[in-house]
Amino acid sequence: MRILISNDDGYLAPGIEALASALAPVADIVVFAPDSNRSGASNSLSLDRPLSVQQAANGFYVVNGTPTDCVHVALTGVLDYRPDLIVSGINNGPNMGDDTLYSGTVAAATEGYLFGIPAIAFSQAEHGWAHIDAAARVARDIVLRRFDELRSPWLFNVNIPNLPYEQIGALTPTRLGRRHQAEPVIRALDPRGRPIFWIGPPGATRDAGEGTDFYAVANGNISITPLQVDLTHRDQLQAMSKAQSRGSA
């Protein structure tokens, strides 16, 4: 199995190091990661400048771009083969509910999925890298599990509780929960007295009930959410189409 690994925390992050170390014994791995922390990059591509790829001392390929750039460049410009799987992470902190729309970790996996390759985004549900080796072991377990019940390609968002391996619960299929809207920006003044704004923290959970990713992780279980990319609101489309046809009748 040939696996392309990326992340959004950058090539020096302990999470990608742990993930690569856990997968290297069971697969042919190659790593393409951003040169700096690009958390929150979402699915952005760099269209206003060229990208460079350099190889770090540990063999990782380092790209001066976003997580999506990394996977895009690897797949279409550098690798002379098509990976069997794209794996992203392990992110420093959760990517649950609405976080998935902003996440660069999820975006790197999504880019592979858009190229028709199965992909998994891994996040550790607390910041700080405690028990990162346990999370990496969980990631390897999931990579080695076959998902024959699904038609390829598939895209999974996985959140792993921050616990020792023996205390981590079951792999639990979930839907995305929801958050309240984000906290307001934090205002400050720069050293020259001009106003600046820091993006505030994400909102508190709104739908964290049973069956959601929030609920699974809060109960010590591993959340796995199968994602799709089509944003079409089918109910509204249907209502709109009905109204249109009435109007033209």
**Bridge partner residues of 157 (DSSP):** 121, 225
Q: Which residue is nearest to Mn ion (CB)?
A: 39
Helices (H), the chain: 14-23, 67-73, 99-102, 104-114, 132-144, 213-218, 234-248
Report the residue number, 8 or 69, with the smaller CB distance to Mn ion: 8
The stretch near Mn ion (CB under 5 A) out of 28-36, 44-52, 77-85, 90-98 is 90-98
3-state secondary structure of 34: strand
3-state secondary structure of 245: helix
Q: Which of 6, 68, 91, 225 binds Mn ion (CB under 5 A)?
A: 91
The stretch near Mn ion (CB under 5 A) out of 62-70, 84-92, 160-168, 235-243 is 84-92
| x/- letters, 37..66, toward Mn ion (CB under 5 A) | --x---------------------------
Q: Could you tell me the two tokens for 90?
A: 């392990």
Q: How far is the CB of 192 from Mn ion (least distance, A)?
A: 30
Please report, to the nearest 10 degrees, the dihedral formed by the alpha carbons of residues 155, 159, 164, 165 taken in order. -20
Asked if residue 9 binds Mn ion (CB under 5 A), the reply is: yes
Chain mean position to CA 121: 4
Asked if residue 213 binds Mn ion (CB under 5 A), the reply is: no
CA–CA dist 26, 29 (Å, integer) = 9
Report the residue number, 94 or 112, with the smaller CB distance to Mn ion: 94
The stretch near Mn ion (CB under 5 A) out of 66-74, 91-99, 107-115, 233-241 is 91-99
Asked if residue 6 binds Mn ion (CB under 5 A), the reply is: no
Please report, to the nearest 10 degrees, the dihedral formed by the alpha carbons of residues 45, 51, 56, 58 taken in order. 40
Q: How far is the CB of 220 from Mn ion (least distance, A)?
A: 22
Please give the size of the binding site for Mn ion, defined by CB under 5 A.
4
The stretch near Mn ion (CB under 5 A) out of 32-40, 52-60, 153-161, 177-185 is 32-40
Q: 71: left (phi > 0), else alpha (psi -120 to 50), else beta?
A: alpha
Contact present, 100 and 72 (Cβ < 8 Å):
no
Q: Which of 5, 6, 8, 63 binds Mn ion (CB under 5 A)?
A: 8
Q: How far is the CB of 122 from Mn ion (least distance, A)?
A: 11
Q: Enumerate binding residues for Mn ion (CB under 5 A).
A: 8-9, 39, 91
